[in-house]
Structures are given as structure tokens and as C-alpha cells.
Amino acid sequence: MSSNETEEYIQNTTKLFKDLCNIPTISKGCLYFTENQQDKGKIDASVTSQWSQRDLVRLENRAFQRNHIVTCDRDPRKLGPVQEPSFPVELQHVQLSSTSPSGKFQAVVKKIPATKKDEEKQYLEIWSCHNMIKCFDIKALDKHGDICEDSQFSSMQWSPSEEQLLYVAEKKKEKSALYFGNTEEDKESSKPPAKKGDKYEYEENWGELLVKRCHPVLVVLNISTDNVTVIDGIPEELSVGQAVWAPEEKGVVFCGWWHVPYRLGLVYCTNRRSGIFYVSLDGSDFEQLSKEGDAVFSPNFNLSMDKLIYLARNEKGVHKSCTELIEIDWKSKTSSVVVDIVQTPEETLFTDNGFPGIFTMGFPTRCWSTDGTKVVLSSFWRSSMKILIVDLPSKSVAHCTKESGCWNVLDVHKDFILASFSSPSQPQRLVMAPIPKHGEAVDWTVIAGQDAIDVKWEIIKLTYDTQEDSDKEYEAVLIQPSNGKTKPDIILHAHGGPHSCYPSNFMNEFAVFCRLGYAVLSVNYRGSLGFGQQPLESLISNIGTQDVNEVKFAVDTILKRGEYNRENVFVMGGSHGGFLACHLVGQFPDFFRAMATRNPVVNLLSMLGTSDIPDWIFEESGLYFNPELLTDADTYSKLLECSPISHAKKIITPTLLMLGAVDLRVPPSQGKELYRTLKARGVEVRLLVYPEDSHPLNKVETESDAFVNIARWFYEHRKVQ
């Protein structure tokens, strides 16, 4: 092909990508209700939502807030007209925010970037509906480090009285200094002198995406007195997070993760030794509420503060799995299992293959019905994400989202659900509905969102094994152009994890590929979330074989339809998806036209001492994890056998590798190892390294550059008919 043709293709690709980048995504939403001034039979729902949009000029994500008013009938609970009375407001520098129970106050955490004159600053602001009431310079407070804003540890909750604010921050670090150089201390300072010789002491952190999280602590701000207190009485071996107020504001319930024997990567991993704990505000009373041996997260009280729920699983095992929903009666401190781990879905429970169990990263901040009998949450359900309604008295589960796609609960208030919805053809929409009664159909009202785009999609059921057992089934999501004028080329996509899932949500890159004429096949092989615990665990010790065969069988099944171009099949994936892509081009060297992979796992053996989650390597390979990382030749042999590098000598497929230079999960040395091997063998290979990006490769500059390079790589290596 000519260079002009390639340049024209790249220009078209960048235009399509830029157009779809104008579609925003929803990150947060909350509901508040007020009396309707014109009609006493109605109430007004104030809907506040936060959105994010890629800015390809400034190469950053732009966050903004939208406000809507929805008029609701009291009885029956029907939603009326939707109004958006103002333009969106950009949330510049906002890291975290929390609105008080009455809606009168809001706490906001902002981080102001460093300038030539000033260092980076973090501020905690308290706002009323009219103006800012207070502002605290976090460093000047000198009580703790930065306030945690990440999704793992962060918590910012107003007390029911609205007199106190609970949040999580990094523990204050002792000053350190060198033995030599300018070490003179301010003699008039009342602060203790810096410890000499400790300046370069290694400090463990919680790994990928949490490198600034070493030892989070609980903090309470008294709004009236401005007094900031770090809660004592918590063992030094615990990092704390996900904190909520206990009854009567006398203490706090939180999740704590143990540091011993050392910290492992925590993001995406629910299998870390942890507990649900209570501590009184004065630190005199401390107790563990969850049972030993469990890994736990997401504690949440009902409105009357007499029932506490949380999610639990065994601390041993793979990084994500099915979870139990546990309820604690606060008065008696007795606990019971409300929803157990589901081994294999029972088809009798639902028409669509049965309830597979709870697969979620936690409850929304507000998730309870007003009477405290129901809990609303989102959970993976095969190749979708559905909204579950758990009835606690009967310990039953139902879902209120019949339409396939990705449903995510944002808020639950006064028996109304605020949620987002998307599908491969539908960008995210903000939707609202009352909590349905048993057997009642749900009529969702669209508050905001974009129109559908011109692609078609379907969920395909597959069984690689000849036995038609339910635990052998898996699925794939096929997305393709809607015009159907020519046979499209196929891009085979394998998700990472491996215990993750593609939940039929809207993905910008898939939509662009369809507009470029490709069909995208994303496979939820066995081991994916949302199919039950037994199918998930079937992958253990079978990585590199079972998952590879099932992904390959999926694309073979699609090709048998005769509707797609067999000559141009491409493969892409990241992390464990990259592991699968590399295996596929190694085990089936003549099948794929080209491969593009992001931060791929290439060699489990060499990754053993470099990843922040070495336990992942052992668990997925079906081996015992020894924290000392001392093992034997047989283990080394097993790890090498499971690895794509064992098939590298057969790879002839043109390969594009994209690596994050600061990736701690799958270090860039993995991709470089494959690059050098292919380079030495004369295989066409290209390596892109993004110096400031980590495992997700999700900075706007990285994401946009990587996508166009992938599209170009596939275009340049397609077989022209």
C-alpha cells in the first residue's frame, strides 16, 4: 500500500477517535429530594452527577458536574419531566467530595498542582449552599499526610449530626536527614529533630496504582472547633480504609488490611488478609467484627444503624472471586450469611441461566431501602452487569435489569435508584427508577446521555468441551458494523485478569474499530467473573491451555458463519489478555495476521521477583504461594511451561507491544523480553514505551496514541483482497 493511503487511513482514524472522545462517561451521582412548590402531591428529585471527558487538545481528562431536577409523583411513584436548569460546571482539581445527610453542606478535597513558586498543595474545603465556610491546608495542619482519594482506601463521610467529618489519610511521616551536608535544625522549633541516616529507608506501599499508599489512618474533623484528630488504638500492622460511622457517633467501623508478612499489590485484588473492625473515637475500644481467614470489604450500615453488611471471601485463592454478603446485628453482634457463594448457577432461580453469585467491588455509599429490608448493588452476571436487589429477611436475590449491558448503581435514596447504563451500541446514560416491588417491572427514566451509535451486537453462548454441562459454558460478545455491506475483518479481544469480565459496556475503541469496518469479538472464557465460583476456579492450574483453547474456539465458531473475512483475523489484549494473545500467536502461528498487546504477561518465571503480586503467579498456576518466594526446579519448570515465552520460537506474527514504564503489576521487562526474542529471530516487532504510565495505560496521551498505533498496525498488516 502507498504511504498516501496509510496517511489517509490514519487521518480518518484520528477523526473517528476524536469524535467519539466527545462522549462523556459517568463517574458519580447522588439524589436529594425537596418539596415541589407548585404541587404538594409531588416532590422534586435533585440529581447531581459527575462526568468525565477526554480532551485531546490538552491531553487530559476533564471532569464536570451536571444538575437535573426530576418531578416525581408521591403515589404511585412515577417520574415526571426532567429539567437541566444550568450548564455543566467543571470540577477543576477536585479529588473527592461528600454531601452531608441533609444536603446543606459539602466537603471537597482539592489538589492544586505545583508551580514555580509553590509546591503541590492539598486543601479540604467545607461549603454551604451559598459559600465556602472553611478551608484547611492539609500540609499546614501537620496532623497527617495527604487525604486518600483512591477507590481502594478512601472514605469521606459526614456524621449523622453533621458536626463531624470522617476521612482516611496517609499517616504522618517522621522527618529524616542525611548524616552529612546541611543538617542544622531550627533551634527554636518545638518539633522533634529529623532522624539521621533514614532518608533512603525503603517504605513498602500497596503496589500498582497505590504507590502513595503506605499506611492510611482514620481522621475525624470537628466542623465546629476545627479540631483534627487521628484515631488511636488501631494496631500498627493495619492499613485502614472504607470507613463508616458507627451508631451514636461514638466510633467508626472500617476495613483493615494487614501488613504482615509484607504488603502485596491491592488494587484489583480482593484476596488480601483483612478484617472489618470497630474502634471508638478515643481509641479505648477496638475489636474485630469479621471472622479470621476472610478477606473482606465494603462495610455499610442501614439507615437506622442497627444492621451492618459487608462482603467476604476466603483470603486464600485467586485475586477475585464470588463473595458472600454478611449481615451483623449491631445490638447482639451476631452475624449471618445473607447471600452465600454460588458454586454453579441454578437455572430454576431465573430465566437467564440462574443467579451466578455476587461479583462486585463493593456497595454504593447509599444502598439501602428506607425500611432497611433491601440492599441494591451492581454485580457481574455472565456477560452483563446487572442491578441486584437483595431482600434480607427472606435472603433472596432478584435483578431489576432485564436488558443486557452494563448497569451500575450510583445512589439509592428514599427508595429510588440512580444508575448508569451502557451497552456496546449505547454510550452511558444516567437513569432513575423506584425500587421495584416483588415481580414488578421496572420503567427506567433517562435523565441524561447520548443517543445510540450505529453498531450491532450480540452475546454468543459457547461450550468448548463436548459436554453440555452448565459449568462448561462461557460466552463471547460480538460487536460489528450495522451496515453489513462487506465481510468485516475480525479483531479477537481477550480481557485481562484472568478473573475479570467484559460486561457488554460501551467502549470507545471498540466503537471506532466498528466504524473502521472491523468486527470485535470479546471472549468471557471460563475463569471470568459472573458465571459462578466453580467455572471461575476451573481455570486454576490451566492457564495457557484452557483459556487459550476457549478463546480460539470462540473465533473459530464465528468464522464458521461465513460472514467474516477469514484472511484477516487480528488479536489484541492487555495483562492476562496479553498473556493469551501471546499464547495464541505462539500456539497457532499461521492463524493471525497481526497482534497488538499492552503490558503482556510473557514469562511467569522472570515475573516472580518483579511483580507486586507474586502470589498471582503461584495461584493461577495451581501452585502453593510461599511468601518467602523460595521454591524449587519443578516449580520453575511449571511456571515456564505455562508461559507464552515457551512458544516464542514459533511466533511469526507481526507483533506490536505497548508498555507502561512504571507498571508494577506486569513490569515492562516482561514485554521487553519478548521484544528481544522476536527481534533476534527476525520477526517483525515494534515496541512502544510510555514513560509516565502504569498498568492500565489510561492516561489520555497514552490511550489515544496507543489506539491509533494499533489501528495502523492492523491496517498495514491486513491482506488486501
**Positions marked catalytic:** 575, 663, 695
Question: Angle, nearest 10°, between helix axes 508-515 and 700-717?
Answer: 30
236, 256 Cβ separation under 8 angstroms: no
Q: Residue 270: what are its φ and ψ, rounded to 5°?
A: -100, 5
635, 623 Cβ separation under 8 angstroms: yes
Contacts of 545 (CB under 8 A, 6+ apart): none
C-alpha 80/C-alpha 374 separation (Å) is 25
3-class SS string, 609-632: CCCCCHHHHHHHCCCCCCCCCCCC
Contacts of 96 (CB under 8 A, 6+ apart): 108, 109, 147, 149, 154, 156
For residue 122, give the C-alpha cell: 492539598
Q: What is the DSSP letter of 120?
A: -
For residue 561, give the C-alpha cell: 458463519
Instruction: Please report the beta strands in 482-613, taking only residues with DSSP state E, as ranges in sequence order.
Output: 489-494, 518-524, 569-574, 594-598
- Tell which residue, 554, 511, 492, 530, has the closest CA to residue 424: 511
C-alpha 712/C-alpha 512 separation (Å) is 13
For residue 244, give the C-alpha cell: 463508616
Tell which phi-psi region holds residue 83, choosing left (phi > 0), alpha (psi between -120 and 50) or beta. Answer: beta
C-alpha 661/C-alpha 154 separation (Å) is 26
For the chain, the C-alpha Rg in angstroms (whole number) is 26
C-alpha 554/C-alpha 541 separation (Å) is 21
Dihedral sign, CA of 668, 670, 671, 675?
A: positive
- Tell which residue, 383, 519, 506, has the closest CA to residue 453: 506
Report the alpha-carbon angle 63-118-166, nearest 5. Answer: 55
Reduced to 3 states (helix: H, G, I; strand: E, B; else coil), residue 107 is strand
Residue/partner pairs of 131-137 with CB below 8 Å, 24 or more apart: 133/105, 134/223, 134/226, 136/221, 136/226, 136/228
Strands 518-524 and 489-494: parallel
Contacts of 67 (CB under 8 A, 6+ apart): 46, 47, 48, 49, 84, 85, 86
**Distance from the Cα of residue 3 to its chain's centroid:** 40
Identify the bridge partners of residue 98 per DSSP, sorted by sequence position: 107
b/e map 586-602, b = 16+ CB within 10 Å = bbbeebbbbbbbbbbbb
Reduced to 3 states (helix: H, G, I; strand: E, B; else coil), residue 571 is strand
Contacts of 265 (CB under 8 A, 6+ apart): 206, 207, 208, 210, 611, 612, 613, 664, 665
- Residue at 543: amino acid letter: I
What's the Cα-to-Cα distance from 590 to each of 54, 196, 595, rounded to whole Å? Answer: 38, 61, 12
For residue 191, give the C-alpha cell: 518539633
C-alpha 321/C-alpha 359 separation (Å) is 7
